[in-house]
Amino acid sequence: MLLINVIGFVFMLYDKQSARKSIRRIPEKTLFTFAFLGGSAGVFLGMLFFRHKTKHITFTLLIPSLTAVHIIVYFFIRNTLF
Average pLDDT of the segment spanning 8-15: 97
Does the pLDDT of residue 82 top 80, yes or no? no
Of 3, 67, 1, the closest CA to residue 32 belongs to: 67
pLDDT confidence band for 81 (50 / 70 / 90) = confident
Q: How confident is the model at residue 1 (pLDDT cuts 50, 70, 90)?
A: confident
Spatial separation of the C-alpha atoms in residues 69 and 82, rounded to whole Å: 20
Position 38: which residue type? G
Residue 61 CA to residue 2 CA, distance in Å, equals 23
20-62 per-position pLDDT tens digit: 999 999 999 999 999 999 999 999 999 999 999 999 999 999 9
Distances (CA, A) of 75 to 65, 68, 72: 16, 11, 5
Where do the domains of the chain lie?
2-81
